[in-house]
């Protein structure tokens, strides 16, 4: 049973607002990820982290930023939301390095669907 939580599940805001999408996991995973997904479309990796104070940009350029101050917490922030940021954002985590074969299996949260008006 995966224990990774995202809040809010749904958010509708106006242009120019600052938003933070929260993601927390209770599995002790070192690695955490943010994906962006438009409806019915493929997943795009936008940020990842291999541990505390480690963050990297993913394959798709994003105006969002992330932080990793605690192992279990990986929030994503948009300083000034625009309609082009409307999308679903999926948070995921994977097993710690050195634990098992490190297959890369990801555990996903339920997603945060952001609509910017």
Q: Does 13 bind other proteins (CB under 8 A)?
A: no
**Radius of gyration for the chain, computed over Cα atoms and rounded to the nearest angstrom:** 14
Q: Does 53 bind other proteins (CB under 8 A)?
A: no
Strand partners of residue 113: 10, 88
- Tell me the closest approach of the beta carbon of residue 16 to other proteins, in angstroms: 26
Sequence-distant (6+) residues with CB within 8 A of 101 are none
- In the bound state with other proteins, the residue whose beta carbon lies nearer, of 14 and 40, is 40
Sequence-distant (6+) residues with CB within 8 A of 42 are none
Contact region for other proteins (CB under 8 A) — 13-21, 69-77, 78-86, 95-103? 95-103
- Tell me the closest approach of the beta carbon of residue 79 to other proteins, in angstroms: 25
Rounded CA gap, 72 and 4, in Å?
Answer: 9
Q: Does 40 bind other proteins (CB under 8 A)?
A: yes
Q: Does 106 bind other proteins (CB under 8 A)?
A: yes
Mask for 58-87, x = binds other proteins (CB under 8 A): ------------------------------
Rounded CA gap, 6 and 110, in Å?
Answer: 7
Side-chain half-sphere exposure of 100, counting CA atoms within 13 A? 8
Q: Is 98 helix (H, G, I), strand (E, B) or coil?
A: coil
Site residues, other proteins (CB under 8 A): 6, 33, 40-43, 45, 48, 50, 88, 90, 92, 94, 97-98, 101-111, 113
């Amino acid at each position: 049973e995966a224990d990774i939580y995202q809040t809010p599940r749904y958010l509708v805001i106006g242009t120019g607002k600052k938003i933070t999408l929260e993601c927390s996991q209770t599995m002790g995973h070192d690695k955490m990820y943010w994906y962006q997904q438009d409806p019915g479309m493929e997943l795009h990796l936008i940020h990842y982290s291999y541990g505390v104070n480690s963050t990297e940009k993913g394959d798709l350029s994003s105006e969002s930023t992330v932080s990793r101050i605690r192992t279990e917490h990986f929030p994503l922030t948009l300083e000034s939301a625009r309609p082009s940021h409307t999308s679903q954002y999926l948070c995921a985590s994977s097993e710690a390095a050195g634990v098992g074969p490190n297959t890369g299996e990801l555990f996903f949260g339920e997603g945060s669907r952001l609509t910017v008006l």
